[in-house]
Amino acid sequence: MPDIKNKGEAGVIPYAKRGYWEPNYEPKDTDILVAFRIVPQKGVDVIEAAAAVAGESSTATWTALWTARLVDLEHYQAKCYRIDLVPGTDQYIAYIAYDIDLFEQGSIANLTSSIISDVFGLKVIQSLRLEDMRIPSLYVKTFHGPPHGIITEREHLNTYGRPLLGATIKPKLALSANNYGRIIYEALRGGLDFTKDDRSINTQVSMGWRDSFILAMEAIEKAQATTGEIKGHYMNVTAADIETMYEKANFAKEIGAPIIMIDLAVGYVAIQSMSNWARKNRVLLHLDQSSHSTYSRQKTHGISFRVIAKWARLIGVDHIHAGTIVGKLDGDPNIIRGFYDILRQDFVPTNPAHGIYFDQSWACLSNVMPVASGGIHAGQMHQLLHYLGQDVVLQFSGAIMGHPMGISAGATASRVASEAMIKARNEGRDFLKEGDDILANVAKQSPELQMALDIWGGISFNYESTDTPDITPSSI
């Protein structure tokens, strides 16, 4: 139990003695639970280090306060209730419970500023990583969630039973608006469902955003007329201020764009504001993930992407880049599967093998379509379908724009590979094991796919991931 006597004393009192370490605490269904990976400084007891994180991210400061007597401190104190040693390391997983009354309803800005606080700068901590959060259903219901969700998006596109296919326009900068539109048309004509602005495309010397939006929409309409399929292009409305973002989004809607995109760099308040706009205006919202690997990739520092995925689902986006496993970007298969489950499933059980620390119910909140992008190609289609499933956008980009037979041929190669693998799956074949043979056989009737396999079939990015699941921890 907390040392109530010490709470009323003056001076510096250890956090653990002020009620921030409670090993007998039973978390309530309404508590927000957080798992931190902690490496304490040498000579600092891990219990005190974890209690400091709990205290400084809730009600404590470095010294005792007489003003604490004015509130029901025990109710509002975060409580570290469990610490597990990660075997073979100097790392610990500290579990901390926060009462729901600490947080503003429906505000990721408040949630993050409270829990992250200044704890990453505490001197008693050598390193700290926010690994996972359990968001209680009561708090989940204060958010609107994704404006549309996977089912509504598929109904809009009239596309079912296979991954959606896309590509980011390359080179990502320096194209004129006319050439930009031509590339979009060729890619969509060849079989893609979507094309996409790069996150860095806003208004550059070579191309203003209004011109690119208009010509992109013309390309979409022409491709739809040519193929009889519904198409889209993610128009980047990211800007220096929210007013310009609204201006760009409204213009995109006026010309008929079915989807817009923003970048994680705009911040959670702007993302949530654009989510509200997308819901009211019935436009899909794609979130690009610029910069998150600066703080999500390292094992012992920062914020895991699984937490960012949860925040994104609460805030409400329809798409988010969530890893490829087989592409050029870092991603352990089991960890990435955990990310995808968080975005797509209604209930995600605790699963240490996938890096999931808590059961998570989404309380009927719509789901998010994950996007796989970065160094993937048609020759990996069996692996992509095996690891990522069918509710995903596969963005091939370089393998589309770099195809020797042209952009349209690159898109066709990806579409043929996708449909061949889906057919094999539906026939009950072991498409992962037989994948190379399936692609080789269908390529006999598709010169576009054969060319893609000849060039990229042997390309892979096999490196050890920096973020892998822990061995099952032992409790202390």
Q: Region of 103 please: left (phi>0), alpha (psi -120 to 50) or beta.
A: beta
Q: Give the percent of the chain with pLDDT over 70.
A: 95
Q: How far is CA 406 from the centre of its chain?
A: 32
Q: What gap in Å lies between CA 43 and CA 269, rounded to an integer?
A: 40
Kindly report the pTM of this predicted structure. 0.92
| Mean pLDDT of all residues belonging to the chain | 91
User: CA 474 to CA 476: how far, in whole Å?
Assistant: 7
For a pLDDT cut of 90, what percent of the chain falls above it?
A: 76
pLDDT in tens, 280-332: 999 999 999 767 777 777 889 999 999 999 999 999 999 999 988 888 877 88
DSSP letters, 445-464, are T-HHHHHHHHHHTT------
Crossing angle of the two packed helices 108-116 and 268-281, in degrees rounded to 10: 160
pLDDT at 211: 92
**Is the Cα torsion angle 57, 63, 68, 69 positive or negative in sign?**
positive
Mean pLDDT of 42-58: 94
The residue whose two tokens read 């549309």 is 148
Fold entry, domain 150-456: TIM Barrel (3.20.20)
User: Residue 472: pLDDT above 60?
Assistant: no
Q: What is the largest CA-CA distance in the chain?
A: 82
Do the beta carbons of residue 261 and residue 168 sit within 8 Å? no
Reported as a single tens digit per residue, the pLDDT across 228-262 is 999 999 999 999 999 999 999 999 999 999 999 99
Domain residue ranges in the chain? 22-142, 150-456
CA–CA distance, 446 with 462 (Å, rounded to integer): 28
Which CATH code for domain 22-142?
3.30.70.150
Give tens-digit pLDDT for 354-376: 999 999 999 999 999 999 988 89
Q: What are the tens digits of pLDDT across the range 415-455? A: 999 999 999 999 999 999 999 999 999 999 999 999 999 99
176 vs 424 pLDDT, higher one: 424
Helices and strands (DSSP H and E) totals, the chain: 18, 16
Which of 233, 303, 237, 291 minimizes the C-alpha distance to 264? Answer: 291
pLDDT at 206: 66
Residue 10: its pLDDT value, please?
A: 52
Q: What is the mean pLDDT of residues 42-49?
A: 95
* Distance separating the N- and C-terminal Cα atoms of the chain: 18
Q: Are 93 and 83 in contact (CB under 8 A)?
A: yes
Res. 104: pLDDT tops 50: yes
